[in-house]
Copies of this chain bind each other. A is one copy, B any other.
Amino acid sequence: MVEISSDVIRGYNDTMILSILMEAPSYGYEISKSIRNRTDGKYVIKETTLYSAFTRMEKNGYIESFVADPDPEGNGKKRTYYRITEAGRNYYREKCEEWTLTKDVVERFMVER
């Protein structure tokens, strides 16, 4: 089985997270499941990778956190949600452009099929 190595995906974990936050604010566990689902289980982000990405991106101003209840009645444990900022949206768009370039570059070294 071919698996995606961390060195390969390294530059795109943040982008994937931001992509999900473009739709709606979300939190760790949910984002983790979103990534798994959207890739049909082909990629599962590690917990530590995910949470350290939150810290880094909040520091960089790409996301903002807020604590909220899981439901309006205030039941359940509070969660830390993240919301994408304008800077985050810009960063995401840049990464999409960069991806186009990267794909072009890398494929010049791949066997055709």
Residues B108 and A38 in contact, CB atoms below 8 Å apart: yes
- When all copies of this chain in the complex are counted, the total is 2
What's the least CB distance linking A72 to chain B, in Å?
Answer: 30
- Minimum CB distance partner of A35 in chain B: B109
Query: A7-15, A59-67, A75-83: which one contacts chain B?
Result: A7-15
Q: Write out the residue numbers on chain B whose beta carbons fall within 8 Å of the beta carbon of A98.
A: 2-5, 8
Q: How far is the CA of A39 from the CA of B104 in the complex (A)?
A: 8
A contacts, CB < 8 Å to B: 2-5, 7-12, 15-16, 19-20, 38-39, 42-43, 93-94, 96-99, 101-111
The 17 listed contacts between A and B (C-beta, < 8 Å) are: A2-B98, A3-B98, A4-B102, A7-B11, A8-B99, A9-B11, A9-B102, A9-B105, A10-B10, A12-B109, A15-B109, A20-B109, A39-B104, A39-B105, A39-B108, A93-B111, A103-B103
